Amino acid sequence: MAETRYQEAIEALAAAFGDRLGLTRPGGEAFLSPAGVEEARLMAEISNRYSVPLVPLGAGTGNGSTPEGPTPERGVLVRFDLMQDVRLPENDETWVEAGPGASWLNLDDELRARARGLAVYPTSAPRATVGGWLATDGLGVGSFEFGRLRENVLSATVVSARGDLREIPGEDLASLSRPEGSGSIVVGARLRTRRADADAPLAAAFGSAANLAATVESLSDSRPPLWHLAFLNPVLARARHLEGEYLLFGAYPREREEGVAGPLGEAVGKNRGRLLCAADAYRVWGERFFPVTPSAASVPEVVREVVPLTEVRDALARAEGRGTVATQGSVSRSGEALLLTFEEERL
Ligand SMILES: Cc1cc2nc3c(=O)[nH]c(=O)nc-3n(C[C@H](O)[C@H](O)[C@H](O)COP(=O)(O)OP(=O)(O)OC[C@H]3O[C@@H](n4cnc5c(N)ncnc54)[C@H](O)[C@@H]3O)c2cc1C
C-alpha cells in the first residue's frame, strides 16, 4: 500500500473522528475507537476508500492481536472500548444483546441479576471480548450441553470491509474466522442465555491420562444432563494450586442431580477415579479461568486446537512426555474437545 494512501486515510479519519483517532506510541500504529454502529460503518467506508485495512482488536487473549503487536500490513487498529453496551433479556426473552467490546464475564455477571447466565463462554471470559470470540469461534464453558459458540449466537451484526451493515446467523460465523480474515467487523450480537440460579459443581481425580480420557469418552456416550465438562492435566492442576492429579470437573443445574449422579459415579468408578467432595469441587470450579484475570497485564501464549474425543488420550500423553506442558480441555456435545496448552514457565 502506498504510504500516501495511508496518510490520506489517516487525515480523512482524523477529520471524521477527531481525537478518537490516536497513535499507540509516537510514530506507531493509528487506532480508532468507534462509539457505535454508525461510526463503525463510517470508519470502514473511509478506510475502504483508501484501501487501508482495518485491524479489529479484542483483549488479545487469542494471541496474535495485541495492541502492541504487529499488524499484517499498515492498517488502522480498531478498539471497541466504547462499544460495550448490553441489553438484558426482558420478560420471557432467552437472548441477550451485547456490543463487541463487552467482556464475557461482565455479561454473565449482569445476567445473574436476572437468574440467567450465558449458555456458553470461553475460559478466557474475564478478559475476552464478544467480538474477539465471535471472530475466532470455538467452544468453552457450557459446550457439553450447548455445543459450539456459533450454535448459541442467534445473529451477529457485522460491518463489511466496504461499510455495509449485515445481520448474519450464528452458523455463518465461520466465515469471519478464515485464516485470511473476511475484513468484516462484528459490531453486535444476540447470544443465547440459560436459567442459571442454582448450579452445582462436580470434580473427580485420576491417576492416569488413560483413565481420565476413558471417563470423558464414557460420559460423552452416556450423556448425563451436565452443563459443562472439562479436564486438566497435573501440570495445570498444580499451577492452579489443586492436587497434582488428572482432574475432571464440570457443573450442572442442581435440579438435575438425579440424572447426573448415576452415570457420573459409574464412569468415574469403572475408570479408577475418585469423586471429590463438594468443597473441593467448588475449589476446582472457582479456578476455571486461570490464568486469565481481569487485571493481568498480559495472558500467556496458548495453543488452541479442537480434537475428536478419541484423540484426547494421545494429546494428554504427549503433554506428559514433555513434562512441562499444561493442558486443559473443554468437552463439547459434538464429540470434540477444545484443548488449550501452555508452557508451564509462562503461567
Ligand atoms: C487462558 C486462555 C483461555 C482460553 N479459553 C478459550 C476457550 O475456552 N474457548 C475458546 O474458543 N478459546 C479460548 N481461548 C482463546 C481466546 O481467548 C478466544 O479466542 C477469545 O475469545 C478471543 O477474544 P479476545 O477478545 O481476546 O480477541 P483477540 O485475541 O484480541 O482477537 C482474536 C481475533 O478476533 C479479531 N477480532 C477482535 N474483535 C473483533 C471484532 N469486533 N470483529 C471482528 N474481528 C474481531 C482479531 O482481529 C483477532 O483476529 C483462550 C485463551 C486463553 C489465553
Pick the CATH number of 1-78 from 3.30.43.10, 3.40.30.10, 1.10.150.120, 1.10.760.10: 3.30.43.10
Mutate to test the pocket of ligand 1, among 66, 133, 343 (most ligand atoms within 8 A of CB): 133
Query: How confident is the model over 41-92, as pLDDT tens digits?
Result: 999 999 999 999 999 999 999 874 333 444 456 789 999 999 999 999 888 8
Which pLDDT value is given to residue 69? 45
Is pTM beyond 0.85 here?
yes
**Is 347 in a helix, a strand, or coil?**
coil
Q: Is the dihedral of CA 153, 217, 265, 222 positive or negative?
A: positive
Percent with pLDDT over 90 in the chain: 75
pLDDT band at residue 180, thresholds of 50, 70 and 90?
low
Domain ranges of the chain: 1-78, 86-195, 199-346
Please tell me the number of Cα atoms within 13 Å of 78 on its side-chain side: 31
Cell numbers given for 339: 484443548
Atom 47 (ligand 1) nearest CA = 56
**CA 264 to ligand 1 center in whole angstroms:** 32
pLDDT beyond 60 at 179: no
Neighbours of 68 (CB within 10 A): 10
Which pLDDT value is given to residue 90? 86
Cα 228 to chain centroid, rounded: 14
Which pLDDT value is given to residue 322? 80
Give mean pLDDT, residues 112-129: 95
Which pLDDT value is given to residue 74? 74
**CA 62 to ligand 1 center in whole angstroms:** 4
> Could you tell me which of 195, 242, 266 has the C-alpha nearest to residue 275?
266
**CA 61 to ligand 1 center in whole angstroms:** 5
Q: What is the residue-wise DSSP string for 264-326?
A: HHHHHHHTT-EEPPHHHHHHHHHTTTTT--SS-S-----EEEEEEGGGHHHHHHHHHHHSSEE
Q: How far apart are CA 62 and CA 250, in angstroms?
A: 23
State which H helix or E strand residue 263 sits in: helix 257-270
Query: How confident is the model over 224-244, as pLDDT tens digits?
Result: 999 999 999 999 999 888 988
Please tell me the number of Cα atoms within 13 Å of 174 on its side-chain side: 4
Q: Which residue has the cell 506442558?
A: 325
Indicate which atom in ligand 1 lies nearest the CA of residue 131. 41
CATH dotted code for 199-346: 3.40.462.40
Mutate to test the pocket of ligand 1, among 124, 303, 344 (most ligand atoms within 8 A of CB): 124
Atom 41 (ligand 1) nearest CA = 131
Give mean pLDDT, residues 255-260: 96
**CA 285 to ligand 1 center in whole angstroms:** 22
The answer to whether 248 touches 216, Cβ cutoff 8 Å, is yes
Indicate which atom in ligand 1 lies nearest the CA of residue 137. 11
Please tell me the number of Cα atoms within 13 Å of 346 on its side-chain side: 13
Give mean pLDDT, residues 290-302: 84
Atom 27 (ligand 1) nearest CA = 132
How would you label 110-125 residue by residue, b for 16+ Cβ within 10 Å and e otherwise? bbeebebbbbbbbbbb
Q: Is the dihedral of CA 52, 55, 56, 59 positive or negative?
A: negative
In the CATH hierarchy, which fold is given to the domain comprising 86-195?
3.30.465
pLDDT band at residue 27, thresholds of 50, 70 and 90?
confident
297 compared with 316, residue with greater pLDDT: 316
**CA 138 to ligand 1 center in whole angstroms:** 9
Atom 53 (ligand 1) nearest CA = 61
Indicate which atom in ligand 1 lies nearest the CA of residue 187. 41
Atom 7 (ligand 1) nearest CA = 122
The answer to whether 220 touches 335, Cβ cutoff 8 Å, is yes
Residues with CB under 6 A from ligand 1: 55-62, 65, 80, 100, 122-124, 128-129, 131-133, 135-136, 138-140, 185-186, 291-292, 299, 302, 304, 330, 338, 340
Any bridge partners for residue 232, and if so which? 247, 328
Which pLDDT value is given to residue 101? 98
Which pLDDT value is given to residue 257? 96
Query: How confident is the model over 134-152, as pLDDT tens digits?
Result: 999 899 999 999 999 999 9
> Do the two domains 86-195 and 199-346 of this chain adopt the same fold?
no
